[in-house]
Amino acid sequence: MGLLGPDTGVLPGRISAPTQRIAIGIGKAKGVPRALWRGTGDVLRGVKEKQAVGIGRPLKPGEKIDENKLVGEVLLPSEGAVTPEQKLAGEMLGSEKSSWRGALGKAGKENQTEGNKTAVREVRQQVDGWGTQVNDDGEIERSRLDEARHTDATYKLKQIEQVLDGTYVMHVGDVVYIQVSQAIDQMGGPMADQLRSAANDHDREVMISKLLKRPEFQSSVREILQQLKDRQSPAKLQESQAKIDQADETIVASQSETKIKSTQLERAKKKLTDYEPAGKTGTDGKKYTELKQLQTTVEKLDTDLETTRSQFEQLKMEQQIAFKNQDMTNYQRITQELSQAQMKYVATEARYNNAKARLDKLEDAKRGLEQTRDEAQDALKRQQQEQAKAKTAKAKAEKKLAKEQGKQVTHETELVDALKNALSEAVPLYESKMEQAFGDRIDTALKTAQERQTTERKKAVYAALAQRYDERIKRVDRRGNVIGFERRPRQDTINSDFAELMTQDNPDEGADALLRHILQTTPELMMADPSHPGEQIPNDAEINALLSDAEFVNQTKQTAVELVILKRERTVGITGDQRVEIANASWGRELFTSNNPEVKKMLTEAGVTADPTAPEFQEQLEEAVTNREKVQDPHNPDKLVEKGSQLLEMIMMLGLFGGVAVTSTAAQEQGATPA
C-alpha cells in the first residue's frame, strides 16, 4: 500500500514534532481513519475525531512522506515519553525468576481493566455525540426525546461499566440477573443445566456473579462494545441542515430583491399613469395631455414651418423676377414680405424646437419608465422562480432531514437496545469462545496422543479422531477472507458411534465395538499413511492388526469412549438411564478412576469416597451419577430438573485423556464449579 497516495485514500497529516513517535499522516485502513507513524502502534491521544482515531501502524521500510501534502496535527507523546506498552514490555523483558509473576500480572488483568475502560469510553463518546437537531452553528443537539434515549444509553452503559469493573452488586431478580440467566436458559446446554440444577437462588446468584467476572465473559462484553463503537450512524443531519440553511439564505435574499423590484415596479407604474389616457377615473394623465398637446403643437408648427418655407421660397422667386424686371415697387414689397416671412420662420422654428425638445423629453421619460417597469416585472418573475426553486429545495432538504433524523433515531434506538442486550448477547459469545477453546484443548490432547504413537497408521487413527466429530466451517468476512473456523458437530457420526458404544449385548464390549466401528468407517486412516499410497479404506486384516496391539487398543478405545460420550453429552445429551449404563460398564468405570486430583475431589464431593478397586465404589458411583433429587426450575416453577446431573460431564472434562494438566483447565474455562 502506498502512503499518502491517491490509491489508498490516505489523507495527509502534519508532522508534530518533537515526538518520540512521529505522526506522519492520517489515513484510512478498512474504512477507519488511522494515524500512521514511525514506531509501534499506540492509541492516539488528543486527536480530533475527524483527524484521526485509532491505532496506526509503523512505517514500512522505504515509505516516505510527501511533506507538501501534510496538514492537520496529530498529538503524540512528547520526546522521551514512554508509552504504557513500552513500559510494560521493558518490565517483562527485564523480569527475573522472582519478578515474572508481577510483570505478567500487570500485562493480564490490569491491562484487561484498561481495555474495558477504553471500550466503555469509546461507546460513551459515540453516545455523547447523539442528537437529531442541528443548531445554528451546525452542531448536533439533542431534543427532549433524544435526551431520553441518551439517558437510557448512558444508564445502561454505566451498568455495563460496573459489571466490567466488578463494582456491580447483583441480586437475584434484578435486571442483570434476569438478562444473563434468561440468556443462559435460552442457550441451553451444560451451563443452563447447571443453572437450573443449582440448589437455590443464592447458588444461582453466585454462579452468575462468577460468570460476570470471568475474563472471557468480560472479553465477550468488550467485543460487543467494540462492535457498537464501530457501528456509526448513517444519518447525515448536518448535510441536510446545511442544504436547508442554504435554501433559506436564497429565499431571504430573493425576498429582499423582490421587495426592491416591487417598489421599483410600483413607482414606475404610478408614474406611467401620468402618461396614460383617461381610464375609469375619467381624467387623462397630465403628462398624457401634455404629450398630446405637444404632439399637436409640434405637428402644427411643423406644418407652419413648411408653409412659411414655401412662402419664403415663393417670395424669393418673386423677388428675383421683380429684380430681373427692374420692378422696384414689387421688389421692395416682396423684400419686405420676405423679411417678415424669414422672421416668422425663425420664430416658428424656435417654437418648434422647444416643443419638440419637450416632447422628446417626455417620450424618453415615458420609455424609461416603461423599461424600468418591464425590467422590474422580469426580475420579479425571475425572483419568483428562484424562490419557488429554493422552496422546493428546502422542502426536499427538510424531507431529507426528517428522513436523516429518522435514521438517527433508528440508529440510536438500535444502539440503546444493543446496550440493553449487551450482557445477554455476551453469554452465547462467551459460550462459543469456551466451546472453541474446549475444542482446541481436545485437539491439542489428541495431537499429543498422536505424537506418542509409534507408527504412521496409529498416528493416523488419532488424526482421524480429531476430525471425526466436528466439521470445520470456514468463517469469512465480507470480502471473502477467511477469518477463522467454526466447529459444527457431525451429529450423525456422534449418534452412530454412541449407539455402537451403548447397544452391545454385553455392555462391557461397547468400547471394543466402538473402536472397531471407528476404524471401519474412517477412510482417512489409509490416506494419512504414506506407506500405503492410494489406499483409502483399511481392510479387515489391517484393522485386526491394529486391534491386536493391546497397548494401542487400551489407550485408543478409552480416548474414543471419552470423546464420544463428551460429544454426545454436549449435543443431544445423555439420559439418566444411559448414565447408569455407563457407570456400570467396565469401560465406563475407567472414566471415573483417573489419577487426576480434580476428578478425585469431584467424586469425593459427590459422595464417591470408596477406592475404585473397592466393591462399594460402583454403588457409590451409580448413586452419584443417578442423583435424581428434583429441584424446582428457577425459570419455570412447574418444572423440576435433576440436581447434580452434570457430574459425568464435569468428570469427563477434568479427566479427559488421563487428566493431563491442560485438561484440568478446561473445566475452569467452562465455568464448572465443584458439585
**Site for other proteins contains 97 (CB under 8 A):** yes
Q: Report the first-to-last Cα separation within the chain, whole angstroms.
A: 56
Give yes or no for residue 85 binding other proteins (CB under 8 A): yes
Q: Which is nearer to other proteins, 253 or 528 (CB)?
A: 528
| φ/ψ (deg, to 5) at 251 | -65, -45
Asked if residue 89 binds other proteins (CB under 8 A), the reply is yes
Asked if 582 and 574 count as a contact pair (C-beta separation under 8 A), the reply is yes
Contact pick of 59, 88, 338, 379 for other proteins (by CB under 8 A): 88
CB nearer other proteins, residue 456 or residue 616: 456
Closest distance to other proteins from the beta carbon of 558 (Å): 17
Q: Does 444 bind other proteins (CB under 8 A)?
A: yes
> Using the 8-state DSSP alphabet, how is residue 57 labeled?
B
Of 108, 138, 368, 484, the residue at the interface with other proteins (CB under 8 A) is: 108
**Which 653-672 residues touch other proteins, going by CB under 8 A?**
660-662, 664-665, 668
Instruction: Output the CA angle 490-491-494, nearest 5 degrees.
Output: 90
* Binding flag, residue 9, other proteins (CB under 8 A): no
The residues with which 27 forms a beta bridge, in sequence order, are 34
Q: Which 52-71 residues touch other proteins, going by CB under 8 A?
A: 55, 58
Stretch that binds other proteins, among 10-18, 198-206, 416-424, 530-538 (CB under 8 A): 530-538
Cell output for 107: 500485562
Tell me, by CB under 8 A, how many residues bind other proteins. Answer: 49
Euclidean distance between CA atoms 80 and 77, whole angstroms = 8
If the CB atoms of residues 104 and 545 are measured against other proteins, the closer one turns out to be: 104
- Pairwise CA distance, residues 226 & 429, whole Å: 14
Q: Which is nearer to other proteins, 88 or 365 (CB)?
A: 88
Among 66, 114, 378, 629, binds other proteins (CB under 8 A): 114
Residue type, 137: D
Asked if residues 225 and 429 have their Cβ atoms less than 8 Å apart, the reply is no
**Interface residue with other proteins, options 327, 386, 398, 443 (CB under 8 A):** 443
Please give the Cα distance from 558 to 589 (Å, whole number): 11
Angstrom CA distances, 118 to 125, 165, 204, 496, 663, stand at 10, 12, 30, 49, 33
Residue 97 or 479: the one with the smaller Cβ distance to other proteins is 97
- Cα torsion 514, 519, 525, 529 to 10°: value is 120
Whole-number Å distance between alpha carbons of 418 and 618: 51
* 86 contributes a contact to other proteins by CB under 8 A: yes
Strand blocks (E) in 113-182:
133-134, 140-141
282 binds other proteins (CB under 8 A): no
Closer to other proteins by Cβ: residue 111 or 311: 111
Does 535 bind other proteins (CB under 8 A)? Our answer is no
When asked if residue 487 is in the footprint of other proteins (CB under 8 A), the reply is no
Enumerate residues 541-580 that contact other proteins by CB under 8 A.
none
Coil, strand, or helix at residue 595?
coil
Q: Is the dihedral of CA 107, 110, 116, 120 positive or negative?
A: negative
Query: Residue 483: enclosing H or E segment and its boundaries?
Result: strand 482-489
The answer to whether residue 100 forms part of the interface with other proteins (CB under 8 A) is yes
Q: For helices 576-584 and 616-625, what crossing angle results, to 10°? A: 160
Q: Which is nearer to other proteins, 106 or 407 (CB)?
A: 106
Instruction: Say whether residue 359 binds other proteins (CB under 8 A).
Output: no
Are 563 and 449 in contact, with CB atoms under 8 Å apart?
A: no
Establish if 111 lies at the interface with other proteins (CB under 8 A).
yes
Which among 84-92, 152-160, 190-198, 355-363 is the span making contact with other proteins, rule CB under 8 A? 84-92
CA dihedral of residues 637, 642, 644, 649 (deg, nearest 10): -120
- The one among 18, 166, 215, 576 contacting other proteins by CB under 8 A: 215
Q: Closest CB to other proteins among 55 and 148?
A: 55
Contacts with other proteins by CB under 8 A lie at 40-41, 55, 58, 84-86, 88-98, 100-101, 103-105, 107-109, 111-112, 114-115, 215, 219, 437, 440-441, 443-445, 447-448, 530, 533-534, 660-662, 664-665, 668
